[in-house]
Structures are given as C-alpha cells and as structure tokens.
Amino acid sequence: KAGVTQTPRYLIKTRGQQVTLSCSPISGHRSVSWYQQTPGQGLQFLFEYFSETQRNKGNFPGRFSGRQFSNSRSEMNVSTLELGDSALYLCASSWTGIHEQYFGPGTRLTVT
C-alpha cells in the first residue's frame, strides 16, 4: 500500500502571501490530521477531517484552514503568512482518528 504523500516537499513564501499544502492519505483511511512542527513548540495539532467534515481543531488562528475532498485527500491553507509560520507541516492519516496515525514526509515551509 502506498503511504501518505504530501506536496510540495519544500516551499518558500514571503510574508503576507498565502499557501496551500496538499495531502493524500493511505488508501481507505478517512481521517486526515494536520500538525505543525517547530523547534520551539514541538508538534502541535492543527485540525482533523473525517469524511469531508472537520471534527476537531487545535488552537491556531483562523488564518489556518483546511478541507477534505470526497476521495479523502486534504488540503490546508495558510493566509497572510507570518515569519512564525515557518515550520514543517505534517499530515497523518488513520482509519478512525483515535487509533494509530501514519505520517507523510512533511512540507517544509519557509516564510521570508
């Protein structure tokens, strides 16, 4: 089975711009979660989607949004980028959302 894929792998953006990251889950998985990883804050949960519905959301500003399509692929969007948004963004998929999650390789976002 193919693993979780994320595109693009690397991205450089300028402050004020917006960005869209994409995630394709493992076939059959309906839950997709997004995390932000930074050296200072570690791994922080952004949100989770299941069958195109957001079921859970972390403590991030409204600039961070996401969606899930009928084929379970998911996108996250960050608008009005700030320097502090520079991070590794990880997507993970799961059967249920409460059991084990399988992670993609991440998208490294650098905001200049």
Partner 1 sequence: AQSVTQLDSQVPVFEEAPVELRCNYSSSVSVYLFWYVQYPNQGLQLLLKYLSGSTLVESINGFEAEFNKSQTSFHLRKPSVHISDTAEYFCAVSVTLRGSQGNLIFGKGTKLSVKP
Query: Any contact of residue 64 with partner 1 (CB under 8 A)?
Result: no
Task: Single out the segment in contact with partner 1 by CB under 8 A; choices: 20-28, 53-61, 70-78, 79-87.
Answer: 53-61
Q: Which of 109, 104, 103, 105 is nearest to 88 (CA)?
A: 109
- Give the interface segment with partner 1, choosing from 13-21, 27-35, 60-68, 70-78 (CB under 8 A): 27-35
Cis peptide leading into residue 8 (ω within 30°): yes
Residues 6+ apart with CB under 8 A from 4: 23, 24, 25, 26, 91, 92, 93, 102, 103, 104
Contact between 100 and partner 1 (CB under 8 A)? yes
Which of 24, 68, 74, 94 contacts partner 1 by CB under 8 A? 94
Q: Interface with partner 1 includes 106 (CB under 8 A)?
A: yes
76 scored as a contact of partner 1 (CB under 8 A)? no
| 33 touches partner 1 (CB under 8 A) | yes
Q: Which residues contact 56 (CB under 8 A, 6 or more apart)?
A: 45, 47, 48, 97
Q: Which residues bind partner 1 (CB under 8 A)?
A: 4, 6, 31-33, 35, 42-43, 45, 47-50, 55-56, 58, 90, 92, 94, 96-106
